[in-house]
Chains A and B, each alone.
Chain A
């Protein structure tokens, strides 16, 4: 009898382990939020890139690689945002499905003349701007792509994932409509986004703004005095109304431009969408739109 009980208990313990939720690993906190929203509580989501990390310089640690061994899916932003992704793929089991959420988003090419204002050396070399999440309609496309890939990996949850994906896409479309309403009163002559990081091309394309980056955080090469002089000339010529620093980035340089030009500093924008506390994709995007509206909408 005791042996029978021991056998049953052993079997149960083994199966309790098998009952563990399948693991999906993400490379951005926003992706983790989306995967969780699309799958509910049926999967465990682990995000490897902490909110305190620099998305452009992050490299996965050996501990991260260990964690990936047990994953069923790895979700990256794509568009070369993660320069280490190819190396990562080589070091994880072939059974791990790798999804680049931004893959189906139409790419915006980086202006080679603005390479010095790119966020980091890797992205200064790439000809595609990776910051597709700045536009909710691009995010909507990425969410659809993510949902379809999740359906393939979890076919028993297909209808539920499809339903959640459609709901999320509807939310993102509504967010785009809201942003258009919020920005409607900004005259086209004032639709100029002066930032420290060449990361707002998707936003500017969707909402008809001109992007004017004044300095990147390219550690390899700071802008030369001539380039800075050119930039000062551009922002004066374009009669820009405000300078937009970025959260999690030093605003020293913009402050210097502000002192030299007299153009006011606006609130900080989030470029990489790393959430503070309980922030969601939607709340970060709404925060950005409100900062821009407060600075540029003179009808208020």
Chain B
């Protein structure tokens, strides 16, 4: 009988532990298994998901990519960058305009772009540029099988 109060305390502690753990689990963010997302890669409303790789011979302060008035992407600070963007590949598509900002000590640099739009073949384009210059890139779009 002398051990009974300790057993009671033990039971209470065990019960508390068993209760706290599941409560913790219940209050966590929902698990991925309950996430219901619909996969929708590819073309929507004339825009195509694309992936862009940018490799430069010098580290740019910034590179901005526009299509018409729409800024598609901006980045800088690394020799290699990549980005997910959405490009208009419709028949009325506008070319891409790329604006380069280079540090003062960079007189001229070469930048290569590889664009993989949707299921289209990859397109590669390289430009030499000075500080503040912009370049035009006419992007192709093939009829897909």
Looking at the assembled complex, report how far the CB atom of B14 sits from the nearest CB atom of chain A, in whole angstroms. 7
In the complex, are the beta carbons of A155 and B35 less than 8 A apart? yes
Interface of A is mostly: helix
Proximity string of chain B (80-121) to chain A, C-beta cutoff 8 Å, 1 when within and 0 when not: 001010000000000000000000000000000000101111
Nearest A residue to B119 via CB reads A104
Q: Bound state CA distance, A8 and B29, in angstroms?
A: 21
Is the CB of B1 closer than 8 A to any CB of chain A? no
**Can you sample 28 A-B contacts with CB below 8 Å?**
A5-B14, A5-B15, A8-B15, A8-B19, A8-B22, A9-B18, A11-B18, A15-B26, A19-B25, A22-B33, A42-B32, A43-B32, A97-B37, A97-B38, A99-B39, A103-B42, A104-B119, A106-B119, A106-B120, A106-B122, A107-B119, A107-B144, A109-B145, A145-B41, A149-B41, A152-B37, A153-B35, A155-B35
Looking at the assembled complex, report how far the CB atom of A225 sits from the nearest CB atom of chain B, in whole angstroms. 32
In the complex, are the beta carbons of A22 and B18 less than 8 A apart? no
Proximity string of chain A (133-150) to chain B, C-beta cutoff 8 Å, 1 when within and 0 when not: 000010001001100110
In the complex, are the beta carbons of B39 and A98 less than 8 A apart? yes
User: B1-59: which have CB < 8 Å to A?
Assistant: 8, 11-12, 14-15, 18-19, 21-22, 25-26, 29, 31-33, 35-39, 41-42, 51
User: A1-15: which have CB < 8 Å to B?
Assistant: 1, 4-5, 8-9, 11-12, 14-15
By a CB distance below 8 angstroms, the chain A residues around B145 are 107, 109, 127-128
Q: How large is the interface on A (under 10, 10 to 19, 20 to 34, 35 or more residues)?
A: 35 or more
Q: Bound state CA distance, A148 and B15, in angstroms?
A: 43
In the complex, are the beta carbons of B31 and A153 less than 8 A apart? no
Partner of B22, one of A12, A137, A145: A12
Nearest A residue to B36 via CB reads A95
By a CB distance below 8 angstroms, the chain B residues around A103 are 41-42, 119
By a CB distance below 8 angstroms, the chain B residues around A137 are 122
Is the CB of A154 closer than 8 A to any CB of chain B? yes
Q: Bound state CA distance, A104 and B2, in angstroms?
A: 73
Given A8-B19, A103-B119, A15 contacting B37 (CB threshold 8 A): no
Partner of B119, one of A98, A105, A157, A166: A105
Q: Bound state CA distance, A204 and B38, in angstroms?
A: 35
User: Which chain A residues have a beta carbon within 8 Å of chain B's beta carbons?
Assistant: 1, 4-5, 8-9, 11-12, 14-15, 18-20, 22-23, 42-43, 72, 95, 97-99, 103-107, 109, 127-128, 137, 141, 144-145, 148-149, 152-157, 166
User: Which chain B residues have a beta carbon within 8 Å of chain A's beta carbons?
Assistant: 8, 11-12, 14-15, 18-19, 21-22, 25-26, 29, 31-33, 35-39, 41-42, 51, 82, 84, 116, 118-122, 144-145
Partner of A153, one of B15, B32, B121: B32
Partner of A149, one of B8, B39, B84, B118: B39
In the complex, are the beta carbons of B21 and A12 less than 8 A apart? yes
By a CB distance below 8 angstroms, the chain B residues around A1 are 8, 11-12, 15
By a CB distance below 8 angstroms, the chain A residues around B122 are 106, 137
By a CB distance below 8 angstroms, the chain A residues around B118 are 104
In the complex, are the beta carbons of A4 and B36 less than 8 A apart? no
By a CB distance below 8 angstroms, the chain B residues around A106 are 119-122
Nearest B residue to A128 via CB reads B145
Q: Bound state CA distance, A42 and B21, in angstroms?
A: 20
Nearest A residue to B7 via CB reads A1
Nearest A residue to B51 via CB reads A144
By a CB distance below 8 angstroms, the chain B residues around A15 are 21-22, 25-26
Nearest A residue to B35 via CB reads A153
In the complex, are the beta carbons of B22 and A11 less than 8 A apart? yes
